[in-house]
Amino acid sequence: MSRSKKFPTSFSRRSFLAGLGAAAMSPYLPLLNASGQEPTMPKRLVLFYTPHGTVKNQWKPSGTETNFTLGRLLKPLERHQKKINVLSGINMQDVGVGAAHTKGLPLIWTGSKLLEETTFTREDGAGGKNFGWNSSLSVDQRVAQVIGAKSAYKSLEFGVRSGGSNPACRMIYTDARKPLAPATDPWAQFSRLFGSATPEASGERLSALKVARAELERLSPKIASEEREKISAHMESLSNLEMRLTATAQLCAGPTLKPKTDFNVVANTVAVVDSQIELIVAALACDLTRVASFQYSVGDTDNKPYPWLGINDAHHNLTHSVDTDTASWEKVMKIRVWYAEKFALLLDRLDSIKEGNGTLLDNTLVVWGTELGEGRTHSFKSTPFVTAGGAGGAIATGRYLEYEEKVDHNRLLVAICHAMGLSDVKTFGNIDKGTGPIARLLK
């Protein structure tokens, strides 16, 4: 088997397979039928997050569903206009405990509220009750249960400035109280995904893993029953690791990242964001995973400066500026345009990978969300969403869809499930009051 030096910029799955031995196919290429003749390219899902809502009148497109002009804040997406949908006027339901930014972040993808538990005291400035982790799983994890089951990683989470271990900083959940922290150091993540351990090192790892698993098994019955779930989650992660260690194929050498820097230093943020985007695209192209998410900053006050944009004020504070403070609002716009540029970069890279008759982007559904409608009012009405990619033909793109604040975002979460092939899903999230996918998005 030959190793490619870089991840492929173009490959057809079948030709790719031709060079692989049977051992290499498993478990990395799960959708293939026995003959290796997969009829269609696999679907992928990417969730993309940026903080603190938008400024609606600068974000909203003008025009009709199929003939529209993007607003100032989405201008960088113009080159992808045929492959995106702008979804305006979707409400998130403002229910449950937690301040707006805190509950909004986990709400986006779970469509569910925070648990009324005492795990956390308020950290975000609003005062108020205690709160717990989110109460249900996020849509990417529901999808991953089906399409990610056999890939090396069921899903991969990437973050930049993504904060501490609390609901205001965690948007992805495999279940109630089970958040997935994003990986924040792209260079460490590169080694994890694309670095290949020597057989010797793998052997040592498997040996350590075996000891740990035996101890967990002995421990479980001896601790309080309500704590055993922690043990079983640990065992599951060890099994996943074992599966990756025993798989022999490493198909890709990975992308070329920017030179390694300290990911925690504010001045390095752009290099970190760009590297994370490269890793997401490479992980999907190499089929290390089919489900990924990218979290830029946190719901709980993005207050680090943006020196690369010449902005040293705290973003969250800027969003609470008075109307007449045009200088501050100009800074907010600059930050939001930069978000769109990074979203466009992700689409550039996805669209540059040829797959079959189209591109990786055509087989992917990318959804961009934020934790509330407008940061300045903390309103959950008209929370902006943008989708990109065709989800392997499930979605018609190039449209501006206006929902006039008459639909909850739980309908969008159901539509995501349907687009990814989970067409039996009727509701999503434990606050869902309706049924079925959002109108007009799916073909």
Q: Return the residues of window 83-102 that contact another protein according to CB under 8 A.
A: 94, 97, 99
| Of 425, 390, 281, nearest in space to 41 by CA | 390
Are 258 and 274 contacting, i.e. CB atoms less than 8 angstroms apart? yes
Residues from 262 through 291 that contact another protein (CB under 8 A): 264
260 binds another protein (CB under 8 A): no
* Residue 184 touches another protein, criterion: CB under 8 A: yes
**Beta carbon nearer to another protein, 78 or 227:** 227
Structure tokens at 45: 């899902």
Of the residues 4, 12, 130, 261, which one makes contact with another protein according to CB under 8 A: 130
Whole-angstrom CA distances from 86 to 71, 203, 271 are 10, 49, 28
- Interface with another protein includes 326 (CB under 8 A)? no
Instruction: Name which of 38 and 117 has its Cβ closer to another protein.
Output: 117
Instruction: Mark the segment that binds another protein (CB under 8 A) among 29-37, 308-316, 386-394, 399-407.
Output: 308-316
- Tell me the closest approach of the beta carbon of residue 228 to another protein, in angstroms: 8
Based on CB atoms, which residue is closest to another protein, 282 or 438? 282
Could you give the CA distance from residue 180 to residue 172 in angstroms, rounded to a whole number? 6
Residue 127 binds another protein, judged by CB under 8 A:
yes
Residue (336 or 399) nearer to another protein, CB: 336
Q: What is the spatial distance between Cα 117 and Cα 129, in angstroms, rounded to a whole number? A: 9
Q: Angle between the 326-351 and 269-285 helix axes, to the nearest 10 degrees?
A: 30
Smallest distance, another protein to C-beta of residue 177, A: 6
| Burial letters 59-87, b for 16+ CB under 10 A, else e | bbbeeeeeebebbebbebbeebbebbbbb
State yes or no: residue 310 binds another protein (CB under 8 A). Answer: no
Q: Which amino acid type is present at position 343?
A: F
Closest to 405 in 3D by CA, of 132, 136, 93, 61: 93
Instruction: Give the pair of three-digit tokens for residue 74.
Output: 């989405």
Q: Which of 18, 22, 34, 224 binds another protein (CB under 8 A)?
A: 224
Stretch that binds another protein, among 140-148, 199-207, 342-350, 353-361 (CB under 8 A): 199-207
Which of 202, 261, 379, 427 binds another protein (CB under 8 A)? It is 379
**214: CB partners within 8 A, 6+ apart:** none
> How many residues of this chain interact with another protein, rule: CB under 8 A?
82
C-alpha to C-alpha distance for 270 and 284, rounded to whole angstroms: 21
3-state secondary structure of 16: helix
Distance from C-alpha of 162 to C-alpha of 298, rounded to nearest angstrom: 5
Residue 9 near another protein by CB under 8 A = no
The DSSP-derived string for 103-119 is: HHHHHHHH--PBP--SS
Q: Is 333 one of the binding residues for another protein (CB under 8 A)?
A: no
Under the binding rule (CB under 8 A), the answer on residue 119 touching another protein is: yes
Residue 199 touching another protein (CB under 8 A): no
Nearer to another protein, 30 or 305 (CB): 305
Q: Which of 19, 63, 128, 436 binds another protein (CB under 8 A)?
A: 128
Q: Which two tokens stand for residue 27?
A: 């478990």
* Spatial contact of 313 and 331, defined as CB atoms under 8 Å apart: yes
By CB under 8 A, name the one of 66, 225, 259, 433 that touches another protein: 225
Q: Exactly one of 10, 57, 207, 435 binds another protein (CB under 8 A); which one? A: 207
Is the separation of the CB atoms in 55 and 384 below 8 Å? Answer: no
Cβ neighbours of residue 140 under 8 Å, at least 6 residues apart?
45, 47, 109, 155, 172, 291, 292, 293
Q: Near another protein by CB under 8 A, which window of 14-22, 79-87, 171-179, 247-255? A: 171-179
Which listed residue (7, 28, 48, 153) binds another protein by CB under 8 A? 153
Nearest alpha carbon to residue 119 among 142, 98, 92, 90: 98
List the one residue from 378, 399, 409, 418 that touches another protein (CB under 8 A).
378
Cβ nearer to another protein, comparing 47 with 415 = 47
Does position 238 interact with another protein (CB under 8 A)? The reply is yes
Least distance to another protein from the beta carbon of 279, Å? 13
Site for another protein in 348-377 (CB under 8 A): 376-377
Is residue 246 involved in binding another protein (CB under 8 A)?
no
